[in-house]
Amino acid sequence: MALAEAVKEAIWLRGLATEMGFEQDAVEVMCDSQSAIALSKNSVHHERTKHIDVRYHFIREKIADGEIQVVKVSTTWNPADIFTKRIPVSKLQEALKLLRVSSN
């Protein structure tokens, strides 16, 4: 579900950039969930995916059209972890560096 929201935002931002005169190739959307990436590329349906609404299946179409590329991001390089889970201080400091946030 979060990947679908990120793809919707990426499509909107791509359209905005195009309107401003900046043509874009495929937009890379980073995801840390292997299962979400696999599900976005393959339409396998089983018990655990039956709750996913049809409107979220458009990700596959956008990937097939070449508008979106879903890329795996390692936990080591994922600054969004500070917003989603408890992490040690060292990981927090690394994430802040990745986000270019400083206390200066």
pLDDT, tens only, 7-52: 889 999 999 999 999 988 888 888 888 877 877 777 665 556 666 6
Identify whether residues 66 and 80 lie together within a single domain.
no
81-94 pLDDT, tens digit each: 888 888 889 888 88
Q: What is the pLDDT of residue 52?
A: 64
Tokens representing 33 are: 């969930």
Is the pLDDT at 65 greater than 70? The verdict is yes
pTM for this predicted structure: 0.68
Identify whether residues 63 and 41 lie together within a single domain.
yes
| pLDDT band (50, 70, 90) for residue 99 | confident
Identify whether residues 81 and 91 lie together within a single domain.
yes
Residue 97's domain spans which residues?
A: 74-104
* Counted domains in the chain: 2
Identify whether residues 49 and 99 lie together within a single domain.
no
Identify whether residues 86 and 101 lie together within a single domain.
yes
